[in-house]
Structure 1
Amino acid sequence: MQTRPTLAIIGGTGALGSGLAIRWAAAGFPVVLGSRSSDKAKEAALQIKAGNGAPAVRGEDNVTAAGVADIVIVAVPFSHHDATLDEIKSVVSGKIIVDAVVPLVPPKVSQVQLPPKGSAGQIAHERLGDVARVVSAFHNVGAAKLQNGGVIECDVLVCGNDKEARDAVIAITEAIGMRGIDAGPIANAAASEALTSILIGINRRYKVDCAGIQITGITANVAA
């Protein structure tokens, strides 16, 4: 059996990060939760059950978690985004960095308010792209649906300038029951991030839980 990559989730004690951790650990991936507090990460790791031969989920500080992983998922609040990227930069050379951060600006989180540089994904590319392979993904997946263990009828838009890195992220997406869609270069991350605010508004107006997106008309999972 092919060895599964070790996944570090920076912000792994938050709603999205822990939801992804639950899914990947159950699917058999080695998972390390990262947090500014290693004690908090270790406590959260004890609550997640590994499956399919995966080792027990670990909890570490952000730098240690990023350093031991093959793929690093950043799922922190936008207010901590830049500082977190700078914190882990020294240990992510050559690795795939998945930026799952959405630039929500309270209190109007249902209103699209993208940063001047275009998107959180573009910021991550500018800060880490000289050392790491930055991909943007997982913006439109409801954290509650990830955590409850049910089927998730949601596609994941995957953006990045490195096609091999995009393909790797699509693979780990499909390993937890969602379809990954190759959405092109990192500049396109702005569209995916903007959709999150739109979905939050849809949830409120239609009184639904975790609205998502699906791309129609695709008959194969692999982009040409």
Structure 2
Amino acid sequence: MTAYRIAVLGGTGPQGKGLAYRFARHGHQVVLGSRAAEKAATTAEEILERLAGVDGAGEVTGAANADACEQADVVVLAVPWDGHDELVSSLPLAGKTVISCVNPLAFDKRGAHGKVVDGGEGSAAERAAALAPEATVVGAFHNVSAVLLWGEEEYVDEDVLCVGDSDEGKAVAQDLAAAVTGRRGVSAGKLRLARQLEPLTAVLISINRKYKTNSGIKITGLEHVER
């Protein structure tokens, strides 16, 4: 297994914290990014407490967002859509693999739904790619429950769909998916398909509300296929 040094921006939020925990549990080095370095350091300590006694667990530290990026080869964007563009444009992302799991969602009386990005011809992942043209941007981890990421089970029984225009970039996301599901992620197409993956999370939220569960996505027909 390739061990990565990963900056998880938004690492103090539920999704970012859960991903950081899973990555570190399986031997990756993680630095949490936050607007406040002190808050990131506190969350890093919480994750380390969960990892006590786990053989081969990676180091977890905290830093301000830009400093976290400087320390990493892979940057995971687990930040809110509001303020996304301003943050991404301020970060040192050139030469790095950037994994976006940002979901532009809105909520009203009828529940969750996907926001329209760039007139329907864009997504958070594509926006990140435009703002950081010297980075390799992929989309992944959009649809994994934050509750399950922070749960006690060793693996989450679902698949991580990875989209991107770079096969090398997608391969990094697929590798990291193994820390969450126990198997490599699924190469699911070009970056523009993030337009479908991001709002799909709203469907899962609706299912969760109806059935009081934490639903996910599992792709059939790949049992005997090498990913």
Provide TM-score, normalisation by structure 2: 0.90
User: Which runs of 5 or more structure 2 residues have no equivalent in the other structure?
Assistant: none
Q: Percent identity?
A: 38
What are the superposed Cα offsets for residues 121-140 of structure 1, whole Å, 9 maximum, x if unpaired?
11111111x21000001110
Give the direction of change, closer, same or farther, for the CA distance of 1:187–1:3 in structure 2 (3 Å limit): closer
1:22 aligns to 2:21 (yes or no): yes
CA distance in 2, matches of 1:171, 1:181: 10
Residue aligning to 1:32: 31
| Structure 1 partner of 2:136 | 133
Secondary structure at the counterpart of residue 18 of structure 1:
helix
Residues 8-46 of structure 1 deviation map (CA, whole Å, 9 limit, x = unaligned): 100000000000111111111111000000011011111
Q: Is the 8 A contact 2:158 2:181 kept in 1?
A: no
Evaluate the alpha carbon distance shift between residue 187 and residue 178 of structure 1 in structure 2; reply closer, same or farther with a 3 A threshold: farther
Deviation (angstroms), 1:165: 0.8
Paired residues of 2:11 and 2:78 also in contact (CA < 8 A): yes
5+ residue gaps, structure 1, are none
Distance in structure 1 (CA, Å) of the matches to 2:79 and 2:210: 26
Q: 1:219 to 1:28 in 2, by over 3 A?
A: same
Tell me whether 1:171 sits opposite 2:170 in the alignment: no
Matched, 1:156 2:160: yes
Counterpart in the other structure of 2:102: 101
Spell out, residue by residue over 1:41-79, the C-alpha distance to the aligned partner (whole angstroms, 9 max, x if none).
011111112544445311000000011101000001110
Taking the aligned partners of 1:16 and 1:220, their CA distance within structure 2 comes to 30
Structure 2 Cα separation of the partners of residues 31 and 171 of structure 1: 15
Q: 2:112 aligns with which of 105, 110, 113?
A: 110
Read off the aligned partner of 1:13 and give its amino acid letter. T
Matched with 2:188 is: 183
Per-residue CA deviations over 1:128-169 (Å, capped at 9, x if unaligned) read 1x2100000111000000001213111111011000110111
> CA separation of 1:28/1:193 partners in 2, compared to 1, >3 Å: closer, same or farther?
same
Cα deviation for residue 112 of structure 1 reads 2.7
The answer to whether the Cα contact below 8 Å between 2:159 and 2:181 also exists between their aligned partners in 1 is: no
Match of 1:194 in 2: 199
Q: Is the 8 A contact 1:114 1:194 kept in 2?
A: no
> Does the Cα contact within 8 Å between 1:154 and 1:178 map onto a contact in 2?
no
SS state of the match for residue 78, structure 1?
coil
User: Following the alignment from structure 2 to structure 1, what is the Cα–Cα distance between the partners of residues 162 and 47?
Assistant: 26
CA distance in structure 2 between the aligned counterparts of 1:214 and 1:114, rounded to whole angstroms: 26
> What residue in structure 2 maps to residue 66 of structure 1?
69
Runs of 4+ in 1 over 6 A off after TM superposition: none
The number of residues matched between the two structures is 218
Distance in structure 1 (CA, Å) of the matches to 2:76 and 2:166: 16
Alignment of 1:45 onto 2:47: no
Give the alignment's Cα RMSD to 1 decimal: 1.7
Three-state SS of the structure 2 residue aligned to 1:212 is coil
